[in-house]
């Protein structure tokens, strides 16, 4: 269903519903602060939908605006429905999240509604200037240790589809890769008759998402819904390719786009040279005259050892100004180890440098509890997009993607 205009009061009510925090606890199950949800997927006639991918997408919300995914796509908790349409998703962090098809815009279905207990949240497609892109979808946060059962996800096939293939310069497919996919649309107004027609005006739009190519380099998107002209832009590792324009009527599908990333190898070589040069450079913070550097590492312990070899320590963030400076200097969407670990019970919080913890910038999960089971101190990282702080233990899905750290030294 599509809405193009809302009254101010209706918008307020609708927004209040879809950002509801789910504080319901059914069969409460503590699992290291993680939560779970399970249920079934049915079509609009109530028939089960088998072999359908679902995922819980963690999203960063700030002042009513969605800033993007909170974690890389490969770390999203997900499941595939069985023959009876049932699914179970575990290890969900207590952060702002959204239940989505997986791949998000490459599924053969789209969500119509989600029923949780006695509440039903209907999904709507909203268009119009000023409306946030998440309006019309359920954004939620589940309390730690909560197990939500018997959720009913109702789906239907989308009316329109675009499918394409991404190739490299040598015509081999860009296989199993996460790409940025942008859909451009336009509707032009003409005056006169052929061959003397001329364009007198029109409208245009742009929508973007993260998605994956398959083993043959194909991608699919259903993020179109009306009669317009469309083209596709694919971006991967800083290199982009765009398609020609095609005209699609409502309900039509187009499967013939081929996009070639001809400059990818050259871009990778140049980027490698720039990265090596950057990792050899210390950045000076003019407010405290401390020097900082980004390094690659295999673990928190590896990062600490590399810091000591350079006469430095893992970064200690002592105030909001230093935090903001680091965000500006290292804006890339990546995880960074910092010089902080969750202490064992009875020990005080302090930085790797020995300084006491006087400033905090925890993410949605809040400050983690002190360790009581003898597993050792749990390291802290700046998280993917938000650059908030999060504890990442050995069981975390995010551990494999933390590949960098930030070093600090007082004198360079």
Query: For every one of its 412 residues, what pLDDT tens digit does the chain have, with 9 covering 90 and above?
Result: 444 333 333 333 333 333 344 433 333 333 457 899 999 999 999 999 999 999 999 887 766 666 667 788 788 999 999 999 999 999 998 888 999 988 776 678 889 999 998 889 998 765 444 555 566 788 888 888 889 999 999 999 877 889 899 999 999 999 888 899 999 999 877 666 666 566 555 678 888 887 888 888 999 887 787 889 999 999 998 899 999 999 999 888 898 999 999 988 888 787 777 666 666 689 999 999 999 999 999 999 999 999 999 999 999 999 999 999 999 999 888 899 999 999 988 889 999 999 999 999 998 778 888 765 656 789 999 988 789 999 998 888 889 889 999 999 987 6
Q: What pLDDT score was predicted for residue 197?
A: 63
- Report residue 313 as tokens: 């320590």
Residue 57, SS3? strand
Predicted TM-score of the model (pTM): 0.59
Q: Which helix (H) or strand (E) holds 204?
A: strand 198-212
Catalogue the long-range contacts made by 298-303 (C-beta closer than 8 Å, 24 or more residues apart). Answer: 298/403, 300/337, 300/341, 300/379, 300/405, 303/337, 303/405, 303/407
Burial 237-271 (b: 16+ CB within 10 A, else e): eebebebeeeebeeeeebeebebbbeebeeeeeee
Q: What pLDDT score was predicted for residue 9?
A: 34
């Amino acid at each position: 269903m599509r809405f193009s205009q809302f009254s101010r009061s209706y918008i307020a009510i609708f927004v209040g519903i879809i950002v509801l925090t789910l504080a319901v606890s059914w069969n409460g199950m503590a699992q290291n602060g993680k939560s779970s949800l399970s249920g079934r997927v049915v079509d609009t006639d109530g028939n089960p939908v088998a072999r359908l991918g679902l995922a819980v997408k963690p999203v960063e919300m700030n002042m009513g605006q969605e800033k993007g995914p909170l974690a890389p796509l490969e770390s999203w908790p997900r499941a595939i429905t069985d023959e009876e349409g049932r699914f179970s998703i575990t290890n969900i962090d207590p952060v702002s999240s959204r239940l989505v098809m997986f791949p998000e815009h490459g599924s053969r279905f789209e969500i119509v509604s989600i029923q949780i207990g006695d509440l039903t949240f209907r999904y709507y497609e909203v268009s119009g200037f000023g409306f946030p892109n998440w309006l019309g979808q359920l954004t939620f946060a589940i309390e730690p240790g909560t197990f939500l059962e018997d959720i009913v996800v109702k789906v239907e096939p989308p009316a329109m589809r675009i499918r394409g293939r991404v190739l490299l310069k040598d015509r081999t497919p860009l296989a199993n890769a996460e790409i940025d996919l942008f859909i451009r649309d336009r509707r032009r107004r003409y005056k006169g008759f052929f061959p003397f027609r001329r364009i007198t005006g029109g409208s245009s739009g742009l929508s973007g998402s993260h998605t994956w190519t398959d083993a043959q380099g194909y991608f699919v998107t259903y993020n179109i819904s009306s009669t317009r002209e469309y083209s596709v832009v694919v971006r991967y590792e800083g290199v982009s390719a765009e398609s020609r324009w095609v005209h699609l009527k409502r309900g039509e599908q187009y499967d013939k786009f081929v996009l070639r990333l001809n400059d990818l190898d050259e871009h990778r070589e140049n980027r490698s040279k720039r990265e090596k040069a950057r990792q050899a450079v210390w950045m000076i913070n003019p407010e405290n005259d401390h020097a900082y550097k980004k390094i690659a590492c295999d673990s928190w312990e590896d990062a600490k050892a590399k810091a000591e070899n350079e006469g430095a320590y893992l970064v200690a963030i002592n105030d909001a100004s230093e935090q903001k400076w680091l965000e500006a200097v290292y804006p890339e969407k990546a995880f960074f180890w910092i010089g902080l670990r969750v202490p064992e019970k009875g020990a005080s919080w302090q930085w790797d440098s020995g300084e006491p913890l006087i400033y905090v910038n925890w993410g949605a999960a809040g400050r983690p509890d002190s360790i009581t089971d003898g597993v050792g101190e749990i390291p802290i990282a700046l998280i993917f997009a938000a650059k908030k702080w999060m504890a990442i233990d050995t069981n975390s899905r995010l551990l494999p993607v933390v590949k960098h750290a930030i070093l600090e030294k007082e004198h360079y």
